[in-house]
Structure 1
Amino acid sequence: MSANLQYRVKPVSPEAHLFEVTLRIVQPDDQGQLLVMPSWILGSYMIRDFAKNLVTLSAYSDGIPVAWEKQDKQSWLFAPYEGELVVTYTIYAWDLSVRSAHLDTTHGYFNGTSLFLRVEGQDDQPCEVELIKPDGDGYESWRVATTLNGLQAPYLGFGSYQAGSYDELVDHPVEMGTFDYSEFDVAGVTHAVAVTGRHEADMERLCADLKMLCESHIEMFGELPEMDRYLFQVMAVGDGYGGLEHRSSTSLICKRADLPKKGEEKVTNGYRQFLGLASHEYFHLWNVKRIRPEVFKSADLIKEVHTRLLWAFEGITSYYDDLSLVRTKRIEPESYLELLAQVITRVQRGAGRFKQSLADSSFDAWTKFYKQDENASNAIVSYYAKGALVALALDLTIRKETAGNYSLEDVMRTLWERHGRVDVGVHEQDVEMLAMEVTSIDLKAFFDQAVRGTEELALETLLEYFGIGYKLCPAKSPDDQGSGKQPENSETEAKPVLGARVKNNNGHVELAVVLDGGAAQQAGLSAGDTLVAINGIRVTNGNVHDLVAAGTPGEPVQVHAFRRDELMAFDLKPQPAPADTCHLWLLESPEPETETRRNEWLGSA
C-alpha cells in the first residue's frame, strides 16, 4: 500500500538551478490542508528561511485547481477538496553549503528541510520519495548517494525511497551526479565515501583512515547505533570547509587539496583538518543525533529552540574529534598538541571569553554565534572552541581526581546508555549531574566556573600533571596560531602591534576587527576603516604589520585612514603584542607515573 505522503523530486532545470517537487497527499485535512517549509536545519542554529527559495507553486485535486492562501513567510493553506491533493512547486537551489540545496549541470544536492514541505498534522506518517533523473543525454551517468531506505530504486540509482516520518525524511541528504564512490566495513555495517567535484584523492587510503577513526569512536561508546549503512558525502572544491551531521550520514565540504593523494604517505595539515572534520561529524552519531537535548527531540523547525547545552554537544565533540587522530596514530602527539594549542590561542585572542559564559553562548547561538559581526571576538565566546577546552579540563580533572580510574569517556558511555540508546532527552542539568554521579566527584565548582562563569581555565596546571608543557607567548607574526613545540627565548619577545586584524579589500588594507583595549581602538580607529599611511609611508597588505612593529611601544605614530569617503588622521600608540599564542610540548624525561598518565590520555600506552 502506498504511503499517504508521496514526494517526487526532479532536477527540472539544472542550468537554472531548479528542483521541481510534487507532493501528493492521499488524505488531506478535510478542513483545509496547511503546508509548512522549515526555517532552520538541525545542527545549524540560525533561522535560514528556506521558504525564500520557493519560486512557483500550484495545486490540484482530481485535475481541478485548488485555491490556496499564504499564511505567513513559510506556510500555505489549501482550500478543502474531496480526494487527493497534489501540490507542485519549484525550489531555487544555489547554495553550495552543507545546510541547504545546490543544483547545476554537474551535480545536485539537497537537505530535506530545503525541499520538502511539511504536511501539518501528518508529521508521523510514512513518506515515499521518488528521485527522478534530469532529462537529457548529459545526465545518463548520474547516480544517487543517500542513506534513505530504497523502496524501488537500484543500488546508487534513481527511483523510489521511503522514510518512516517527516523527521526521518529530512535527515537523509541526497547527492546526485557523477561522484566517486568507495565502501568499507565497520562493525559489520557498510560505510561509504562519495566524493563529488574534481579531485585526485587516494580513495583507498581515505577509506582506511576513516575506518580507523570510526572504529575508535565505536570502541569508546561500546557499540554503533542501529543503522543499515553510513555515508560520508564529500564535496571537493577549491576553497571551502564545513560539515553537518545526520542520523546515518554526514555532508562535508573541503578543499580538494586537503584530500590525500596517491603516493603521498604523510598527513598534511590540510588532510589532518579533513580527518578532524570527518571525525567530528561521525562522533555526532552518538553525541547530538541520539544523545540530544530534550528540546531537540521534537524540535519545531519554524522558530528558534534554545538550550544551554551546546557546549556539551559541540564542545565535547570538538575535543574528541582531534584526540581520536592521535589515539588512532593518524598523527603524532606533537601534531595533536599543535592542534590543541591552536584552539587555546583562538580562545585567548577573544576578549569575549570574559563577557559571555559557555551556557550563554549556547543559548544565544541563534543571534550571536551564527550571526557574528566585526565585534564578535570582543563580545562572545565559541561554544565549539572553549567548549572543547572545558571538555579537556573536565577529562583531565576526572582522570586526576580518580587516579585514572575514570575519565570523561565513562560519562559519555553512561549518557549513551541512559539517553542515546533509549531515546531519552537530556535536560539542562543532566550532563553535570551524571558526571558527578559516575565519577563520585563534586564538580559543581568546576561547572560554575567553566560553564556558567567567565574565569580562565586552569589548563597549565592540569596539562603539567599529564606531562605537557604550556606557555603563552606573543605572536611571532600575524600567521602564528600556536605550536606543538617548546618556544625559543626569542619567541617570548613582544613586538609592537596594531591591536586589530586586517583584511585585503581589493588591494586596500581594511580593519576587519578592532580588539578591545588595543592600540587601534584607543586611537579611535574602527572596523571598516581603510588604512592609507603610517608615519607618511603608504600602507600595503605586505607591510602594515612591519610598519607598526618598527615603532616604539608607547610612542605615537601617525595613521591616515579613510572612514567611508573621509580621510582622517589618528595618533596611534603601538602596544606590545599580548601573550595570547599558545605553545604546548611533551615534557622531557617525566616521572614514570606522569608518563603513564600522559600515555593513557593520548592513547600511547
Structure 2
Amino acid sequence: MKPIRYSIVPKQPAAHLFEVTVTVTDPDPSGQRFMLPVWIPGSYMVREFARNIVTLRAFNEAGRKVRVEKTDKHTWQAAPVSGALTLRYEVYAWDLSVRAAHLDDTTGFFNGTSVFLAAVGHEDAPCLVDIQKPAGPAYRSWRVATALPEARGTRRYGFGEYSAQNYDELVDHPVTLGEFALTTFKAHGVPHDIVIAGRVVALDMARLAADLKRICEAQIALFEPKSKKAPVERYVFMTQAVSDGYGGLEHRASTALICNRTDLPVEGRPQTTEGYRTYLGLCSHEYFHTWNVKRIKPAAFAPYDLTRENYTSLLWLFEGFTSYYDDLILVRSGLIKPEEYFSLLGKVVGGVLRGSGRLKQTVAESSFDSWIKYYRQDENAPNAVVSYYTKGSLVALAFDLSIRAQTGNRKSLDDVMRLLWQRFGRDFYRGKPVGVTENEVEALFAEATGAELGALFEQAVRSTRDLPLDTLLEPFGISLAPEADRNARPSLGARLRGGADCTLAAVHDGSAAQKAGLSAGDVLVAIDGLRVTGANLDALLSRYLPGAKVEVHAFRRDELRTAQVKLDGPEVSRYTLAVTDKRTAARNWRERWLAG
C-alpha cells in the first residue's frame, strides 16, 4: 500500500494550535473517509478528541478545494477526486496531561490519537510524518523527543520526517517538542532515553538514569531470564515536570509521564524522598506495561477499535498485576528496603478496605465498567466502585503468595507472566495479533504453576469477598493488622475536598455523617458552635471520644442545616505488615518472594 503522509507544525503556539495535514495518494474512489479516535489506549474513557479540531479543509493535488462533510462526531468524508487528496486542519491543544495534546510558547506535546486523522481503509498502510519546527528565533533551540523511527536522514531529536509501519504504530508514539533535559542509559544493551521537559533546578540525571537502569533490567530479566532480551530496540521515558501533577500512560516503546518537579532527584542529595519513590514507582508501572498490555493484551484489544469502547473484564490482570509489580520491582532492584515495601502494601490494603464499593463490585465487573464508572467517578464512587488497580494489585499478591505456598516457592506469579509473554506477547507485532480471552485465564495460571487456584479465582475475581491476605502471609512470617491511630481520633466517616472550606467530597456508607443526613457537597461551618475549616477539623474532632454526639452546622447550597452527629471510631487508613517469624524457613520464603 502507498504510504499515508502527515505533517504537523506548531502553527500558533500562543493560541495553542497545531496545523496538521494528511495526504492520501490513492483515496477511495467513492469518497475518502477520515476518522479521529474517540479514546486513547491505556485510558479507558471516551474523550471525544474530535472536539478539538477547529477548522478542516480538503484539497485535490492541484490545490483546489474539495467538498468535505462531517458524517458523525469523529468522521469526515471528502467528495470523490482523481489523484491525491489532502486534508489540512487545526487542532486546539491545551490539555496538560499524558492523554491528549498541549502546546504553548515553551513546550509542545501530542499523542497521535489527538492529532492524526486515520484514512479509513488505509489503516494498514505505512505512515510518514513530517514534524516541523515552529517559526521564529524563539524556537531555535527546540528539539523533538519520540520513539518513532527517523526517516530520510532525519537526525535523532531533530525536526524532520519519521516513519511508522501503520496507523496503530503511528499513534502509539507520543512526541515532546521544546527544550528538555536528556540522558541515555543502556539496559541489557538496549538504549533507554530520559527526557525531562519543564523547569527543574539541580536535576540529578545521573542518579535518575542509574535507578531506572536497575528497574528496567529487573523487568527485562523477569520476562526473559535467559536471553535478557528487551522487547524494544529503543525506549523513551518522557516526563513533563510541573508544579502539581501526577500520571503516566504506556506506549509500545515509550511512556508519557507527568510529575511534580519537586519529586525529581536533586544533585548532592542522595536521600530518597517519598515523592521520588512515587515517581520511580510510576516509571516502573508504565515500563512493565511494555509487556503487560502493550504486547500481552486482552482479546478485546487485539486489535484496538478506536471508534468506540472496547470491553474486557480483565483489566484487573493488566492494570492490577502491573500495579503489583511496580513497587515489587523497586524492592527487587534494591531501590527500596523490604520494610518500605511492606509500608506501601499496608497503605494499599487500607485504601481498598476503606471503601464499601469493594463489597458491591468485583474486580471483573470494575474492569468491564471502567468506561462508565472508574474513569467517571462521582461523589458516590467509594460506596459503589472498587479499583481494578489497587484491589487488582492485592489480587496479584494473593495469587503470588498462594502459588508459592502450594509449590514450596518453586513457582510464582512470575511464571504466569512468563507464560503469558511467551504465548501471547513475544510475537504480538510480528504476526497475527492474538489476545487473552476471559475464558482461558484460569487454565493458563494452572498450566504455568501446577497450583490449584480455582477457589481463589472465585473469591478474588468473581466475588466481592475480602481477600484472605492475613492467612496467605503467614507462611512468610508476616502478620497483617490495622494500624492503630495513636490519637484515637473519632471521625465523621467522610472525605474532604481540598481547599480552605470544610467541604465534604464523599460520605461513606453507614458512616456517622451519612446517618446524620450529611451529604457530599455540604460545607461544614461549625461543630458545637466552633468554626470549622478544612485545616482545623482534625484538631476539633480530637477533643472528642468515639461515640460522642456533636452538633454540626453546614450549608447545602445556600441553605443552613443542623445535624446531630454521633462520631464514629478512628478510621483505619493503612494496615501494618510486620515480620513476626524470623526463623530460617520463613525468612527464606520472604527472601525468595522479594528477590524474585
Using structure 2 for the length normalisation, give the TM-score. 0.96
Task: State yes or no: 1:501 paired with 2:503.
Answer: no
CA distance in structure 2 between the partners assigned to 1:503 and 1:28 by the alignment: 52
Of 295, 299, 304, the match for 1:299: 304
- Partner-residue secondary structure (3-state), 1:365: coil
Answer yes or no: is the 8 Å Cα contact 2:33–2:120 preserved in 1: yes
* CA drift at 1:81: 1.0
- Equivalence for 2:431: none
Task: State yes or no: 1:247 paired with 2:239.
Answer: no
CA distance in structure 1 between the partners assigned to 2:547 and 2:570 by the alignment: 12
Of 387, 390, 402, the match for 2:392: 387
* CA drift at 1:345: 1.1
Aligned residues: 585
CA offset digits 1:386-414 (Å, max 9, x no partner): 00001001000000000011000011101
Of 409, 423, 427, the match for 2:414: 409
Segments of structure 2 that go 5 or more residues without pairing to the other structure are: 429-433
Answer yes or no: is the 8 Å Cα contact 1:40–1:48 preserved in 2: yes
CA distance in structure 2 between the partners assigned to 1:60 and 1:247 by the alignment: 34
- Equivalence for 1:280: 285
Answer yes or no: is the 8 Å Cα contact 1:147–1:231 preserved in 2: yes
- Equivalence for 1:212: 214
- Equivalence for 1:514: 507
CA offset digits 1:483-510 (Å, max 9, x no partner): xxxxxxxx4x7432111111244x3210
Shift in CA distance, 275/504, structure 1 to aligned 2, threshold 3 Å: closer
* CA drift at 1:462: 1.5
Answer yes or no: is the 8 Å Cα contact 2:231–2:426 preserved in 1: no
Query: Residue 322 of structure 2 aligns to which amino acid in structure 1?
Result: T
CA distance in structure 2 between the partners assigned to 1:398 and 1:504 by the alignment: 42
Answer yes or no: is the 8 Å Cα contact 1:498–1:545 preserved in 2: no
Of 569, 583, 594, the match for 2:576: 583
- Partner-residue secondary structure (3-state), 1:114: helix
* CA drift at 1:189: 1.3
Answer yes or no: is the 8 Å Cα contact 2:143–2:158 preserved in 1: yes
- Equivalence for 2:334: 329
Equivalent residue runs for 1:73-92 within 5 Å: 73-92=73-92
Of 411, 435, 447, the match for 1:437: 447
Answer yes or no: is the 8 Å Cα contact 1:4–1:27 preserved in 2: no
CA offset digits 1:515-564 (Å, max 9, x no partner): 11000000000000001111111112222223234234334211110000
Task: State yes or no: 1:449 paired with 2:442.
Answer: no
CA distance in structure 1 between the partners assigned to 2:25 and 2:267 by the alignment: 52
- Equivalence for 2:588: 596
- Equivalence for 2:516: 523
- Equivalence for 2:538: 545
- Equivalence for 1:173: 174
* CA drift at 1:463: 1.6
CA distance in structure 2 between the partners assigned to 1:580 and 1:180 by the alignment: 38
- Partner-residue secondary structure (3-state), 2:371: helix
- Equivalence for 1:483: none
CA distance in structure 2 between the partners assigned to 1:314 and 1:451 by the alignment: 14
- Equivalence for 1:467: 477
CA distance in structure 2 between the partners assigned to 1:553 and 1:195 by the alignment: 48
Task: State yes or no: 1:270 paired with 2:275.
Answer: yes
CA distance in structure 2 between the partners assigned to 1:252 and 1:516 by the alignment: 35
Answer yes or no: is the 8 Å Cα contact 1:225–1:285 preserved in 2: no
CA distance in structure 2 between the partners assigned to 1:400 and 1:384 by the alignment: 24
CA distance in structure 2 between the partners assigned to 1:227 and 1:595 by the alignment: 37
CA distance in structure 1 between the partners assigned to 2:543 and 2:187 by the alignment: 57
Query: Residue 174 of structure 2 aligns to which amino acid in structure 1?
Result: P
CA offset digits 1:216-248 (Å, max 9, x no partner): 001100144443210000111111110011010
Shift in CA distance, 580/63, structure 1 to aligned 2, threshold 3 Å: closer
Larger mean Cα displacement after TM superposition, 117-126 or 537-546 = 537-546
CA distance in structure 2 between the partners assigned to 1:247 and 1:555 by the alignment: 55
Task: State yes or no: 1:34 paired with 2:33.
Answer: yes
- Partner-residue secondary structure (3-state), 2:372: helix
Answer yes or no: is the 8 Å Cα contact 2:357–2:385 preserved in 1: yes
CA distance in structure 1 between the partners assigned to 2:394 and 2:305 by the alignment: 31
* CA drift at 1:354: 0.4
* CA drift at 1:331: 0.8
CA offset digits 1:428-479 (Å, max 9, x no partner): 13322111122222211101110110111111122222122211135x3xxx
* CA drift at 1:266: 1.6
Larger mean Cα displacement after TM superposition, 543-552 or 329-338 = 543-552
- Partner-residue secondary structure (3-state), 1:102: strand
Answer yes or no: is the 8 Å Cα contact 1:344–1:389 preserved in 2: yes
- Partner-residue secondary structure (3-state), 1:373: coil
Answer yes or no: is the 8 Å Cα contact 1:225–1:421 preserved in 2: no
Query: Residue 297 of structure 1 aligns to which amino acid in structure 2?
Result: A
Shift in CA distance, 428/504, structure 1 to aligned 2, threshold 3 Å: closer
CA distance in structure 1 between the partners assigned to 2:459 and 2:439 by the alignment: 15
* CA drift at 1:146: 0.5
Identity of aligned residues (%): 52
- Partner-residue secondary structure (3-state), 2:497: strand
Answer yes or no: is the 8 Å Cα contact 2:554–2:560 preserved in 1: yes
Task: State yes or no: 1:139 paired with 2:149.
Answer: no
- Equivalence for 2:401: 396
Answer yes or no: is the 8 Å Cα contact 1:361–1:369 preserved in 2: yes
Larger mean Cα displacement after TM superposition, 572-581 or 182-191 = 572-581
Query: Residue 452 of structure 2 aligns to which amino acid in structure 1?
Result: D
- Partner-residue secondary structure (3-state), 1:263: coil
Query: Residue 266 of structure 1 aligns to which amino acid in structure 2?
Result: Q
CA distance in structure 2 between the partners assigned to 1:242 and 1:320 by the alignment: 17
Query: Residue 49 of structure 1 aligns to which amino acid in structure 2?
Result: E
Using structure 1 for the length normalisation, give the TM-score. 0.95
CA distance in structure 2 between the partners assigned to 1:336 and 1:581 by the alignment: 13
- Partner-residue secondary structure (3-state), 2:525: strand
* CA drift at 1:580: 5.3
CA distance in structure 1 between the partners assigned to 2:319 and 2:2 by the alignment: 36
- Equivalence for 2:377: 372
CA distance in structure 2 between the partners assigned to 1:581 and 1:218 by the alignment: 32
- Partner-residue secondary structure (3-state), 2:587: helix
Shift in CA distance, 252/398, structure 1 to aligned 2, threshold 3 Å: same
CA distance in structure 2 between the partners assigned to 1:446 and 1:470 by the alignment: 19
Query: Residue 496 of structure 2 aligns to which amino acid in structure 1?
Result: V
Answer yes or no: is the 8 Å Cα contact 1:243–1:252 preserved in 2: yes
- Equivalence for 2:128: 128
Answer yes or no: is the 8 Å Cα contact 2:493–2:571 preserved in 1: no
Equivalent residue runs for 1:349-364 within 5 Å: 349-364=354-369
Answer yes or no: is the 8 Å Cα contact 2:354–2:572 preserved in 1: no
- Partner-residue secondary structure (3-state), 1:97: coil
* CA drift at 1:281: 0.6
Query: Residue 454 of structure 1 aligns to which amino acid in structure 2?
Result: T
CA distance in structure 1 between the partners assigned to 2:448 and 2:574 by the alignment: 35
* CA drift at 1:578: 4.3
- Partner-residue secondary structure (3-state), 1:367: coil
Query: Residue 34 of structure 1 aligns to which amino acid in structure 2?
Result: R
Task: State yes or no: 1:259 paired with 2:264.
Answer: yes
CA distance in structure 1 between the partners assigned to 2:334 and 2:498 by the alignment: 38
Task: State yes or no: 1:312 paired with 2:335.
Answer: no
- Partner-residue secondary structure (3-state), 1:176: strand
- Partner-residue secondary structure (3-state), 1:454: coil
